C-alpha cells in the first residue's frame, strides 16, 4: 500500500476538514475558530503535513512557526492506532525545530487519548487554558 507524508495542496482542504470533523475527541465545537485565512497561512508558510495512502489523505498535522505551537494533529478515525499520528506529530515538531524553536506547546482536552499520547511522548502539563484544555510543553 503506497503511503507517505507530504505537504498538503490547496485543493485538499475539504478532505482535511472532513478528518477534523470526524474525530471523536477534541472536537471543534466552534468552526469559526479555524478560518480560511488560518488554513491558507499554514498551507503557504510552514505547510500542513498530510499522510497519504493510495491517493487518500488519512491524517494531517501542522506546527505554527510564529509561536512554536502544534496547531493540528488529526487522523481519520478509521485509520487510528497505526503510527500515522506519531509520524505526523514528528513532522510538525520538525517544522518547529527547523524554524528555530527550542520548545513547543500545544493544548488538548483532559482525559483523552490525545492527553495520554502527549504524556507518553514526554510532554509535560504546565497549566490549563481558559477553555479548560491542558497546556503541554516540551523541549525540542
Mean pLDDT, consecutive 10-residue segments, the chain of 140 residues?
Answer: 82 89 70 72 85 94 95 92 94 96 96 95 97 96
Domain ranges of the chain: 3-101
pLDDT at 41: 85
pLDDT at 31: 62
Q: For the chain, how far is it from start to end, CA to CA, in angstroms?
A: 32
Question: What superfamily in CATH does domain 3-101 come from?
Answer: Gcn5-related N-acetyltransferase (GNAT) (3.40.630.30)
pLDDT at 33: 63
pLDDT at 94: 96
Q: What residues are paired with 107 via a beta bridge?
A: 135
d(CA 34, CA 36): 7
pLDDT at 7: 92
Amino acid at each position: 500500500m503506497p503511503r507517505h507524508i507530504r505537504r498538503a495542496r490547496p485543493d485538499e482542504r475539504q478532505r482535511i476538514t472532513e478528518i477534523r470533523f470526524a474525530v471523536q475527541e477534541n472536537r471543534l465545537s466552534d468552526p469559526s475558530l479555524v478560518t480560511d485565512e488560518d488554513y491558507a497561512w499554514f498551507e503557504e508558510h510552514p505547510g500542513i503535513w498530510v499522510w497519504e495512502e493510495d491517493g487518500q489523505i488519512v491524517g494531517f498535522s501542522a506546527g505554527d512557526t510564529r509561536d512554536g505551537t502544534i496547531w493540528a494533529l488529526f487522523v481519520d478515525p478509521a485509520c487510528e492506532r497505526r503510527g500515522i499520528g506519531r509520524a505526523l506529530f514528528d513532522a510538525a515538531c520538525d517544522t518547529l525545530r527547523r524554524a528555530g524553536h527550542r520548545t513547543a506547546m500545544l493544548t488538548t482536552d483532559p482525559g483523552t487519548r490525545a492527553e495520554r499520547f502527549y504524556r507518553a511522548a514526554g510532554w509535560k502539563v504546565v497549566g490549563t487554558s481558559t477553555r479548560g484544555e491542558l497546556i503541554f510543553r516540551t523541549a525540542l
